[in-house]
Chains A and B, each alone.
Chain A
């Protein structure tokens, strides 16, 4: 009986297999309805590229938008052309190039699409689109590229470009595909996730000849592309444009901040470039040109250039000294002019006059007191402790640290501490006499222009700042709502501010604006490689600062000339909306600041 059952089971299995084979034979070979259905029922996946988010200035002025570009794509395996020559003429290549490009595409893949002609002109696109049905194996890929309304804000905006092989490989989320545009620098890179949007997919029914038969299942499986998010920037376009105009032809930077919020109003790195040249077909060529330019237009000066601050640093020294109690504001210190080179005449100076006349010898002595606070018996250890305490205080001013601005590649500047000098001179082998240049903002200390502007904001705010940023959309800017405090008494700020207001008449008469209480400090940064750098920081109005600004002009001599003039014009423009001092504008535009 069991043998019988075994045989029965075996026969059942064989019968089932035969039934299956026959059924398959019937649907695969005999019955052609399935083949016809398949031919009319090829579902093609079409990628819908999203629009990248637009950028606006703080007043709603459109800065950056998108425009469509069309690439001619090829799938080598499917290519069949009846008239190669006319095709070549149409897309503007020679038959040799045609062969070459097909070979290149084949090398990449015979079944995957690759670029055949990049970014067709509008005429080419119109002509090809009409005749695409004749050219099997070719199709158009539509994408969008950036367009710029104004020729400004280049370095802050940054640029987009095709994603690199390396970025693709490191994209673990698999968001990107080859050929996608991504933000490479500036805000485009910083807010890539917001700007990029979401690619959509639509499924189209096509027959075997590629003729579209409509959307698949009325688009039930389609996902719409989600445009990227529009961003509002803190920048004031008008002020930005004016700043770029004033500094044109010079090398340097302008940064303006709204002290009450930390919003960046102006962000200029000079020389600048036209952002439009880093779009489209000529991207590589133009990028190379910019990269080779000796004036480095791609160098983000406000964030990355690091300079000794010069005399504007005296404001910080004054605040720290008063807070530490090493000098009373009204204490008069005799300055002989012997300790360090000076433009201020010899005599007795109190804090107010020392800032007002920018007395180097006064700050030499004050800084010596800051460093030698008798914190240790050992004079070397005392210097070490003094420097490190001082360094800590500078960090609270946002100096020597990252401010956390929302543009990539911010440099922290450099504030030396005891570790640095120990490495340089050896432990117990240095003291105040090795580091006295720091007292007037020379020597090893390096700040970047954004920190200088932020310093002006701190003084204007009398002791606090919001980290500078460029994004105005509320949710994205929410990380910048926490104020940072310096821990220095407000009354000391008032002394510095009064002095800064009066200082203009002494060191930067050009900067004075009628009806606007402007407080500023000039600096002339010694430059061993050439002419001195001209630097100026200021805020205005005195009692309720609306703008804090730093201007740095390389190789332009005294701070009271180039930098102070530019800053003054910008403040006037921002607060009054017009320029009353045509002569000063002409002076700046003429650009002859040296004697």
Chain B
């Protein structure tokens, strides 16, 4: 039996869910850009839905490519792929085209191409490769720092492109390190920093500073003799203050006024519901008006106007919520949850640390996109412009998630051939 499984099975369950999501995306893109005064078909290449169909076709070719390559390739070339895309990120910073305020696009033959999307799977590969090396130990500070370095390089590069949303995605890889045994402290610190970041935007900075100073002084006062703890508390206070200050710096010095507005609205959509908070408000109205059953395919009234930016990309969930109601939305939630849990299950059944870590990276990235994107459309999270995996319009996004997922399926199909290490 074991011999017969040399060329193992692809996990068809995952493939089915993938296909369902991609087709749902395509149909909803059509609905999102549907204009009842112009007749164009689902296949019209002049519209987003027609182009998405082309992207889907290309994605299928990519799948064939990913599955055809030898499974050892991904392990052997993980660093090569990683550094290739890191180099592309640097190049795009220097020569890229600016779209909507972020310089993250290459213009090739009239088509936009976003290397940061592909850096996602490259980073997951590199991190998995690093953790898969039997000699690396996550309880050693040096290896911890190296692991963070792998993640932080693309983080800072995409940050410098002005693409905050994509940069934050790399943060999701903490899940890999967590699963592979890094100290919980990092997770707690990470979550705290994010909380403070968001808090900074909501509450006056001076107030936060005063609070930090007061708490620091209180802790020191309450533990006068514990020098080590005092040191830790003071360092933490400085880091937190630095974070707060950097937010201020980024907000006033780096960002342009319209970007600043967008961020302010992300944090508080009710600042000016018909002004700069328009997207966030309209998004909730669209989804909220869907009711239990939804208004029906192409019957949405709220999501079909060209001036809503990203109606077919980042805000695609609005169309689903409006036209397919709570039922449709729940089906989508269920599909995503099922997919992510399935990916984790696949990861857990791997024999090599490399494949398992990779699997968790896939789960982490899809999960982060899913949470952030839907959370933003239903008003739970600030508006961060990242796509809904497999659903949102766009070639780069679809292809990068496809590659991400199918490398895992390729590794999984060969799991019996791998000797367990470490």
Contacts and interface: CB of A to CB of B under 8 A. Distances in A.
B46 A174 contact: yes
A47 interface: yes
Contacts of A107: none
- Which one of A16, A23, A111 has the highest number of Cβ atoms from chain B below 10 Å of its Cβ? A16
B378 A23 contact: yes
Nearest to B184: A5
B284 interface: yes
Interface residues of A, number: 41
Interface stretch (B227-235, B340-348, B394-402): B340-348
B326 interface: yes
A146 B413 CA distance: 70
B326 A28 contact: yes
B178 A28 contact: no
Interface string A154-185: 00000000000000000000100110000000
Nearest to A28: B326
Interface stretch (B36-44, B55-63, B70-78, B79-87): B36-44
Contacts of A1: 181
Contact of B37 (A5, A35, A177): A177
B24 interface: no
Contacts of B363: 9
A393 interface: no
Given A9-B179, A38-B286, A24 B321 contact: yes
A43 B278 CA distance: 13
B38 A31 contact: no
A171 B321 CA distance: 35
5 contacts: A6-B344, A13-B344, A20-B374, A35-B289, A203-B305
Interface in A1-45: 1-2, 5-6, 9-10, 13-14, 16-17, 19-21, 23-25, 27-29, 31, 33-35, 37-39, 41-43, 45
A162 to B, nearest CB: 15
Interface in B312-370: 321, 325-326, 329-330, 333-334, 336-337, 340-341, 344, 348, 363, 367
Interface in B357-414: 363, 367, 371, 374-375, 378-380
B50 interface: no
A10 B337 CA distance: 10
- Provide the main secondary structure of the chain A interface: helix
A288 interface: no
A47 B284 CA distance: 27
B38 A177 contact: yes
A42 B305 CA distance: 10
B288 A21 contact: no
B329 A28 contact: yes
Interface of A: 1-2, 5-6, 9-10, 13-14, 16-17, 19-21, 23-25, 27-29, 31, 33-35, 37-39, 41-43, 45, 47, 109, 111-113, 174, 177-178, 203, 217, 221
A33 B181 CA distance: 47
Contacts of A14: 337, 341
7 tightest CB-CB pairs across the interface, nearest first? A34-B288, A38-B289, A27-B288, A17-B337, A28-B326, A42-B301, A221-B307
Contact of B179 (A5, A19, A177): A5
A2 B181 contact: yes
B367 to A, nearest CB: 6
Given A6-B348, A177-B37, A217 B274 contact: yes
Interface in B277-314: 284-292, 298, 301-302, 305, 307
Nearest to A75: B36
A109 B287 contact: no
A19 to B, nearest CB: 8
A20 to B, nearest CB: 6
Given A35-B288, A112-B37, A10 B326 contact: no
Contacts of B36: 111-113
B289 A29 contact: no
A42 B378 contact: no
Given A24-B333, A27-B288, A37-B285, 13 more contacts: A5-B178, A6-B348, A13-B337, A13-B344, A14-B337, A20-B380, A24-B378, A28-B288, A33-B288, A35-B289, A41-B302, A45-B305, A112-B36
Nearest to A46: B37
Given A20-B374, A20-B378, A35-B291, A25 B326 contact: yes
